[in-house]
Amino acid sequence: MGWGALSVSEVALKLAAEPKTNDKRNRIVVFTQGAEATIVATEGKATEYAIIPCPELIDTNGAGDAFVGGFLSKLVVGEGMDECCRAGNYAANVIIQRSGCTYPEEGFEVPAKA
């Protein structure tokens, strides 16, 4: 796009500012970065959200899909970006500690905010 060398946050901001058909809502750009912070850009600002440290990385297959599922589960009920990212990061964290894209049979529930 000819933007030159930019930080991840700057790219997210530029993408969020791109024109869109539905102008009733702001665009939300989310970049996950593995073991690095998740970056969310919307409404003219980029924010970093901490990931959940992973005690044992087994398999990253499905981690992105799990993040999206957790993130959207909070977004559709009107939660803020902090809760959306927390749920997304939690779901991805569960997935990467198991072989294949599987959930534990019991105990898969996003913990309450600390």
Annotated active-site residue in 23, 59, 65, 82: 65
Q: What is the pLDDT of residue 78?
A: 95
Q: What is the pLDDT of residue 109?
A: 60
The residue assigned the tokens 């997210």 is 12
Q: Which domains does the chain have, with CATH numbers?
A: 8-96 (3.40.1190.20)
82 assigned to active site? no
Amino acid at 84: C
85 has a pLDDT exceeding 90? yes
Higher pLDDT, 108 or 95: 95
Do 51 and 38 form a contact (C-beta atoms < 8 A)? Answer: yes
The CA-atom distances, in angstroms, between 76 and each of 50, 51, 73, 82 are 21, 21, 6, 14
End-to-end Cα spacing for the chain: 41
Q: Of the candidates 52, 39, 111, 18, which has an alpha carbon nearest to the alpha carbon of residue 81?
A: 39
pTM of the model: 0.83
